[in-house]
Amino acid sequence: MPADRISADKTSTDRISVIVNGARGRMGREVVQAVKAEPDLALAGETDLGDDLARAVRETGARVVVDFTQPGAAAANTRTILEAGAHPVVGTTGFKPQDIDALRELAARLGRGGLIAPNFAIGAVLLMKFAAEAARYFPSVEVIELHHDQKLDAPSGTALKTVELIRKSQPAEVPANPAEKESVPGVRGGRYLGIPIHSVRLPGYVAHEEVLFGGAGQVLSLRHDSLTRTSFMPGVILAVRRVVHLKTLHYGLETILEL
């Protein structure tokens, strides 16, 4: 049995104590209410940027810390959570590949697992899965992600993760049209791993992604829309319940769905 395989004999009737870091933010407030609503979870504390997170973990004995803060604090917060003795569930974006590699090494050394997920909406995870499958048959693809105007990073972590999964499924990069000229610089978006990503930031949006595939005489469009932040809560709660059994750090909600 793999180290992170969860079996019935490892479950516990004890309530899982949870700190919500970033509790004063929009996502944090949703997580606080979601944790309070679950009979098998206990809200151990609410922290935010500027608070002593390590001390809060040690004093409360929290088993899990859910982090929704700011991109610049994501890697440091995850390290703090692991070293303080808790399992991280991190929805904050802004991780570099080398950050994730270093945190995986730390988690493995400590024998304490966790999860970093660009998106906790189950529908968004399915979109990424379907996009990776479609990429086997449609080599030409572009990604559009649309978020509220207060989002601090672009492109979104979900868009980056989607492109990474597509590239694994379809490693051959489709070259850009050499004759194409941008009359307005940047109008064709940015390229990540050779795939164009377009970021939209407007009031009224929450979190949305569309993956467009083009083929001879046909197009395929895959789209997911999170209309309210409650759409992320089932994934967050699922992650809280699963991470207490993990001994390694996972990246992407899809990696723990079948555990």
Q: Which residues are catalytic?
A: 147, 151
Q: What contacts 82, CB < 8 A, 6 or more positions away?
A: 88, 103, 106, 107, 110, 112, 114, 249
Per residue in 28-65, pLDDT tens? 999 999 999 999 999 999 999 899 999 999 999 999 99
CATH of region 122-227: 3.30.360.10
Same fold, 8-116+230-255 and 122-227: no
How do the domains of the chain map onto residue ranges?
8-116+230-255, 122-227
pLDDT of residue 3: 59
Q: β-strand 207-215 against 140-147: which pairing, if any?
A: antiparallel
The H or E element containing residue 213 is strand 207-215
* pLDDT tops 70 at residue 243: yes
- pLDDT one-digit tens code per residue, 115-128: 999 999 999 999 99
Each residue's pLDDT tens digit, 159-193: 999 999 999 998 777 788 888 899 899 999 999 99
* pLDDT at residue 10 is higher than 60: no
Superfamily for domain range 8-116+230-255? NAD(P)-binding Rossmann-like Domain (3.40.50.720)
- What's the pLDDT band for 1 if we cut at 50, 70, 90? very low
